A and B are shown apart, each in its own frame.
Chain A
């Protein structure tokens, strides 16, 4: 065995060339969409497709930022690992979708220009993902709702005419299936755990349920693209009801949160929670305009 020269010993212990294998959990930065045809498909308005990618990308980015806020605050180390993992998946989806939006909208903006240099009214995420974190039960309830809906959507989008969107969806389906499984297992443990945890889990579901409807409310671009999210409603609600039942929780009968003059997240009309979230996300980038990181 080599003596303890730092790098020699490392090479010895590793027995492998530098590269991806050094990541604990296989987080590659090679572009998984490399080689996918980037030209917009025929018969699809690139502006609509760009708007749609922005909506889905912003959902993923903002929820990822909320999950990141849990790091060093989770109830157990396994949850630190899992929430970071979920956040990384969503961040990866956001990067691909924002990149796609920038390719299609004619501005050529990069993922970073879109993430760091838009104002809150230019963000197109649903309000559900931007709400303050709350407790772990709310973290779980939001993940359950989002992952159930987004998993079902991605499943349908795997056959989309845009090869890039179809590829993003195909990657995302597997990730969201794990997110849903994670949220499912915790919903059941908290719902069917102690009396205290049952109350907290029910309160979390009750608090977030009114924001769920926005995920099923179509934007005009979605209708033109033939990806009407209202078609997801029955499947998603049935899936959620099943989990809540297993968790001994009841399905809330809450009315959806109203819009503002008919507009909500998809049109850039958000809650008060988004501004501070973006201020934090963007502060360093904006302090150094033009810098490369």
Chain B
């Protein structure tokens, strides 16, 4: 539909005045497409992100830790549901987005393509991965698109709780046996650099950033958020008693921030291109669940059609 000049200027005014764009408002096609891409990717990340930690659900070494991890997995499935619902307000549907995920047309956060090798990974994911996610996501609570912003408020609250639980697990392990402390350091060594890369490529190499900033979808550059994460995390690592695996890490008095080394971007590019340790495994699991469940979803639809009400499955 051709936009009237009036609709266009109304949209621009809403964004410029920090008001919210709502589903029935006119919006530029490219704005809609950017949001669909970003929200879908975020929803997929929540769902795929259940797998690395889910790997430890059956083996959690205390019933309390098992309950905490199970509640977290449940939260993540819930986050996926809110986010798919937010995407649906833009005129796409969940089934279509799921198809795009499992045939590789849409992406999810590359962090979930790394393996979880010990129970300490559960704590480190909570601390570093959820911590980085929070840095990325808190600004989204003020995103210009209303349904996304509102979903993010709730999601951020729960993510911050997960982060604290992760940190509390690590504190417990660091106060434990030599074996437990070794597990924590090993997990930190493996997850530190991938966590820094969660903020995306350096500003100079981030093609979509500028327009998203203008639309108030994005608020801070990748490098700003990365710096914020490092500044927040270094003191936490000290309290914990772990060493962050970066010899270049040093306090910069002048900037009032921590200097840090350059992540291995070529490794990140490999993971993004599908060559990460777990890319195939994660998608295979998601595809298997989707395909194995097809007969169940069909049955629910058939039942709903017969009985004139909607089944809870799609």
Report Cα–Cα, A111/B299, bound state, in Å: 40
| Chain-A contact segment, one of B20-28, B77-85, B237-245, B254-262 | B77-85
Q: Report yes or no: A190 in contact with B138, Cβ–Cβ below 8 A.
A: no
* Interfacial chain A residues near B84, Cβ < 8 Å: 77
Flag the segment in B58-66, B189-197, B203-211 that touches A: B58-66
Instruction: List the one stretch of B1-9, B33-41, B46-54 in contact with chain A.
Output: B46-54
Listed stretches A150-158, A172-180, A285-293; interface member: A285-293
User: Which of B59, B173, B296 has the most CB atoms of chain A within a 10 A radius of its CB?
Assistant: B296
Nearest to B285 among chain A residues (CB) is A72
Q: Which residues of B contact A111 (CB under 8 A)?
A: 63
- Please determine whether A6 and B78 come into contact, CB atoms closer than 8 angstroms: no
Looking across the interface, which residue of chain B has its beta carbon closest to that of A200? B295
A293 and B65 CA atoms in complex are apart in Å by 7
Nearest-neighbor residue (CB-CB) of B18 within chain A: A1
A197 adjacent to B295 (CB under 8 Å):
yes
> A94 contacts B63, CB within 8 Å?
yes
Residues on A with C-beta less than 8 A from B294 are 75
Instruction: Identify which of B77, B177, B299 contacts A288 (C-beta below 8 A).
Output: B177
Cβ of A125 to closest chain B Cβ, rounded Å: 15
Among B145-160, those with CB < 8 Å from A are 153, 156-158, 160
Residues of A contacting B73 in the complex (Cβ-Cβ under 8 angstroms):
71-72, 80, 84
Contact check, B289 vs A72: say whether CB atoms are below 8 A apart: yes
CA distance A204 to B141 in the complex (A): 46
B313 with A76: CB separation less than 8 A: yes
Q: How many A-B Cβ pairs are below 8 Å?
A: 202
The yes or no answer to A74 lying at the interface (CB within 8 A) is yes
Does A24 lie within 8 Å of B298, measured CB to CB? no
Query: Once the chains are docked, how many angstroms separate the CA of A136 from the CA of B313?
Result: 13
Contact A22 B158 (CB under 8 A): yes
List the A side residues contacting B51 at CB < 8 Å.
72
Contact B119 A78 (CB under 8 A): no
Q: Which of A82-128 contact B (CB under 8 A)?
A: 84-85, 87-88, 91-92, 94-95, 98, 111-112, 115-116
Question: Which parts of A182-217 form the interface with B (CB within 8 Å)?
Answer: 185, 188-190, 192-194, 196-197, 200
How distant is the Cα of A101 from the Cα of B142 in the complex, in angstroms? 51
Residues of chain B within 8 A (CB-CB) of A94 are 63
Q: A22-B160, A193-B302, A293-B172 are in contact. Are A4 and B139 (CB under 8 A)?
A: yes
Contacts A13-B153, A23-B71 given; does A4 touch B219 at CB 8 Å: yes
Q: Are B57 and A71 in contact (CB under 8 A)?
A: yes
Whole-angstrom distance between the Cβ of B226 and the nearest chain A Cβ:
13
In this complex, the interface size class of chain B, counting residues with CB under 8 Å from chain A, is 35 or more
- Kindly state the separation between the CA atoms of A77 and B296 in the bound complex, as whole angstroms: 12
Cross-chain contact A91 with B63 (CB below 8 angstroms): yes
| Interface pair B70/A87, CB less than 8 Å apart | yes
Of the candidate stretches A42-50, A227-235, A276-284, the one touching chain B is A276-284
Knowing that A4-B138, A71-B54, A112-B62 are A-B contacts, what are 4 other residue pairs whose CB atoms are under 8 Å apart, sorted by A's residue number? A4-B220, A6-B232, A73-B288, A194-B299
Between A and B, 26 residue pairs with Cβ closer than 8 Å are: A1-B142, A4-B220, A6-B228, A7-B160, A10-B134, A10-B157, A22-B157, A23-B75, A24-B71, A27-B71, A72-B50, A72-B286, A72-B289, A73-B292, A75-B296, A77-B47, A80-B50, A84-B71, A91-B63, A185-B312, A189-B313, A193-B301, A193-B302, A284-B60, A291-B180, A293-B119
Shortest Cβ-Cβ A-B pairs, 10 listed: A75-B293, A193-B299, A197-B299, A84-B74, A75-B296, A22-B161, A80-B77, A284-B61, A285-B61, A293-B62
Q: Which residues of A contact B (CB under 8 A)?
A: 1, 4, 6-7, 9-10, 13-14, 22-25, 27, 29, 61, 65, 68-69, 71-81, 84-85, 87-88, 91-92, 94-95, 98, 111-112, 115-116, 135-136, 185, 188-190, 192-194, 196-197, 200, 280-281, 283-285, 288, 290-293
